[in-house]
Chain A
Amino acid sequence: MPDQKSGRAVSPFLVGICAWLIPGWGYWLLGQRVRAITVCVTIVVLFLMGIAIGGIRVMDPPGWGEYGYMVQLVTHEYDDGQRLVERRVDPTSADEQANPAADNDDRVQGPAVIEQPLAELAERPWFAGQVLCGPITLIASDISIHAARPPATPDSSASAIGGQPVQEGVESSHSRSWEIGTLYTAVAGMLNLLTIIDAGFRASERKSQ
């Protein structure tokens, strides 16, 4: 088997990074090509099956809202100047994202993902598993964010103010399809974590020999 014959010494750190970038690449660097292809195909197929089951909106990165714009933190200052109430604004348009303040007493703190990154991640902990699949997760998340944005209409801002509910570009999935889709993508990421650790361990063993 080509898996056992080659014995190149590669840095475990490099192997770990490469294994995250493309599932199975760590084994490939160690010369274990059958293992690399098997792991890569399995993890990528599981990840894509998750998106096929749950839809692209199953990729739900922390910090982005229902309508594909960055959630903003706004504090409201009362007349006595003492009480500040923090609230999260889920913008429905690029204009609202740029200026989420509702009135003059609102003070914009900034994007929630920058101001409170851990709180945002805690709201969507499954993304920690998904992102272990590598850049494929980041690409899918970017597609998901753009797909979520409401379709541009001449009076899109007016309809939001006029009481008409703003529609997402592609609606997010719910119930079973969302649960199973998230499970598939998160399990794919967790399996890739196993392969990252294993490939790194094999590289360190080889280096010490």
Chain B
Amino acid sequence: MIAGFSLLAYTLFIDPLPIWRESWYWPLLIIPLSAGVALVYKSIRCRDMPTAFRESIGLAITIIVGMVLAAGALAGVAKFMH
């Protein structure tokens, strides 16, 4: 409810996205970043662009899965240490 009111006060490109409150969607912001990194990286590495588009999908998925696994492992370590 509170997050809904915060979003109403949000002005695009001026105000920060209200993700400091309890919100479920902020971890999803890793997806566009990973897709962008993968697409530019494969555009540089591949000789032709159709191959780059194809391979960037696989790389983006690899990055996201890797980040999720790293987050899970770190959360496990933090819980163990606590």
Q: Is B47 an interface residue (CB 8 A)?
A: yes
CA distance A176 to B23 in the complex (A): 11
A55 to B12, CA, bound (A): 7
Give me the interface of A with B, judged by CB distance under 8 Å: 1, 3-4, 34-35, 38-39, 42-43, 45-46, 48-49, 51-58, 147, 170, 173-178, 180-181, 183-184, 187-188, 191, 194-195, 198
Chain B, interface size category, equals: 20 to 34
B37 pairs with A181, CB closer than 8 A = no
Q: How far, in Å, is B51 (CB) from chain A's closest CB?
A: 10
Cβ B48 vs Cβ A178 within 8 A:
no
B contact patch SS = helix
* B52 contacts chain A at the CB level, 8 A cutoff: yes
**Contacting residue for A170 out of B15, B33, B37, CB 8 A:** B15
Q: A187 touching B37 by the CB < 8 A rule?
A: yes
B residues 38-82 near A (Cβ < 8 Å) are 39-41, 43-44, 47-50, 52-53
| B14 contacts A by Cβ under 8 Å | yes
B43 touches A55 (CB 8 A): no
Q: Which residues of B contact A49 (CB under 8 A)?
A: 32
Known: A4-B47, A4-B48. A56 touches B39 (CB 8 A): no
A117 to chain B, nearest CB (A): 28
